[in-house]
Chains A and B, each alone.
Chain A
Amino acid sequence: MTLSAWAQPVMEFKAGNDTYVVEKLTDGHGIIWGVEFLDKDLIIFTEKTGRIQTLDLKTGLARLLKNLPSVYNAGQGGLLDIAVHPEFAQNSYVYVSYAKKLTTGGQTTAVARARLDVNEGRFEKWEDIFVARPAFSTAHHYGSRIVFDKAGYIYFGVGERGQAELSQKLNAHNGKIIRLFDDGRVPQDNPFIGTPEALPEIWSYGHRNPQGLFYDKKTDTLYEQEHGPKGGDEINLIVKGKNYGWPVITYGREYSGGQVGRGETARPGMEQPLKYFVPSIAPSSFMIYRGNKLKLFTDKFVSGALALQHLNLVAMKDVATACEDRLLVGLNERIRDVKQGPDGLVYVSSDNGRIYRIRAGSL
């Protein structure tokens, strides 16, 4: 393992007989919403304010990129997730999700892509491949996470923007997982092609605010994690065309403490979560760690937690009843994104404008 002299150890933690070190890799930024890897030594990350930077893991230097997309930065909106095309080495495409203000009124979740010249540090022209409709004047629940599957389809989550009833309606993108070709075209095997009034981009529905999305190459499976209201955050296994129930069924309650709808937690035709969290941890991001460098993490769901400010680990096996490990509590930071790096280590960003790396070993 290559240790970087510039990386600053900030925490050591012990779990059983194993010891891990948390290193700070960069600091002094805004909310770092999305973190990805351009190659094994180069991170690319978004700040909610609208900036995109690279972080060179050989030197520790961050570099602000040029020709950035125009975003609507207010409330929970702004520049959100970032994804690198699986064939980036050939086509140079980088994708972002963001809050877009429409000239026709309101704002909405959009996904755009542009080619990145890494050497020049500059994006070429941005093009929207998707703009969710309808738009609303509210400034919350945009969803945002973007993933690609092994066939090259792109998936992302769109939040219900506070309009809970739209999650059950197929004529709105709100509260949905979307599936497209990498250029924004709609695959003709999407589940609601041909359904009257249904939007063809929809892959699954009945979601609230999906802010975790992970494609597991090992099992060719899509997983999603979403914010519940007061309690009821969920981990879901996403299946084509399925209804995940919000707001008809939920394990959460209204912020006032009252029941949501009729207070149902199950109904035929609606999927149960693999796991739900009561109280909410407020999940920001989500992955399955498939590496072997960090034994504690292997084959576990790893979630960033905002409200409860930790990194959450729960085993995939019997996940509904499995115990949890809550890490990085001492940082006292809202964990915003979590990724497994090409080196098999875990990288975490926070709302305090920092990126951390977790490695095995001691100081």
Chain B
Amino acid sequence: MFILRLTVLLCLVAACTHAVITTEREPAEGLEYRACREIEEKMIQVRAINYATLEKNFKNVKDNVFKNHCASCHFGPDAYKPQLDDYTATLDYVDLNSPEQSRLLQSVEKGTMPPSYPLTNRSREAVAFLRAWVLDGAQR
């Protein structure tokens, strides 16, 4: 019976540093089987987007928030409204006079959107960045 070896790599998107954390664990109950060979798995952790360093503009919102969480329904001319890869179309859902009341912000912060999965800590950072962009005047 092999002990499963899991190694975590730290990967900075393009350049990776190897073998930072190695853990070993015994097989869980019920894993009785005859393994052909030892399989050594190395997990790679991808550095999260650092929103603090991102300029608050539409391109960064589109590429980091909308693309990761909204694109399947809201990108492209045939998509459900609002078309979030289009600045002008997106602005229709932003109230520059009362940004807190913007439909774009409210639908996300009230949990209406995205419809099918709960927010994680990483996606909460995305929502915070979206909020900051809207409150800052939703600059192009």
Contacts and interface: CB of A to CB of B under 8 A. Distances in A.
B40 interface: yes
Interface stretch (A8-16, A234-242, A249-257): A8-16
Contacts of B46: 8, 10
Nearest to B15: A363
Interface in B33-47: 33-37, 39-44, 46
Interface of A: 8-16, 27-30, 47, 49, 51, 53, 61-64, 120-121, 279, 308, 313, 322-330, 353, 363
A63 B72 contact: yes
A330 to B, nearest CB: 4
A325 B117 contact: no
Contacts of B39: 13-15, 325-327, 329
Interface stretch (B4-12, B52-60, B90-98, B128-136): B4-12
Contacts of B73: 64
Contacts of B44: 9-12, 363
B72 A120 contact: no
B38 to A, nearest CB: 8
Contacts of B111: none
Given A47-B116, A279-B30, A353-B117, A323 B40 contact: no
Contact of A326 (B33, B76, B114): B33
A234 to B, nearest CB: 15
Contacts of A14: 39-40
Contact of A325 (B37, B68, B71): B37
A325 B36 contact: yes
B78 A120 contact: yes
Contacts of A63: 71-72, 75-76, 79
B116 A13 contact: no
Interface string B98-119: 0000000000000000101100
Given A53-B72, A63-B79, 20 more contacts: A10-B44, A11-B41, A11-B42, A11-B44, A12-B42, A13-B42, A28-B69, A30-B117, A47-B116, A49-B116, A61-B71, A62-B71, A63-B75, A63-B76, A322-B36, A324-B33, A325-B37, A326-B35, A329-B39, A330-B41
A332 to B, nearest CB: 10
B16 interface: yes
A14 B117 CA distance: 33
B16 A363 contact: yes
A140 B35 CA distance: 32
Contacts of B68: 27-28
B32 interface: yes
Contacts of B43: 10-11, 330
A3 to B, nearest CB: 13
A329 B41 CA distance: 8
Contacts of A330: 4, 6, 41, 43
Contacts of B6: 329-330
A90 B37 CA distance: 45
Nearest to B45: A10
A29 B68 CA distance: 11
B32 A51 contact: no
A61 B75 CA distance: 9
Contact of A121 (B4, B31, B78, B116): B78
A353 B118 CA distance: 12
A29 B70 CA distance: 11
Given A51-B116, A279-B32, A62 B78 contact: no
7 contacts: A10-B43, A10-B46, A11-B44, A12-B41, A13-B39, A13-B40, A330-B4
B11 A9 contact: yes
The list of the 3 closest CB pairs from A to B, nearest first, reads A62-B72, A323-B36, A330-B41
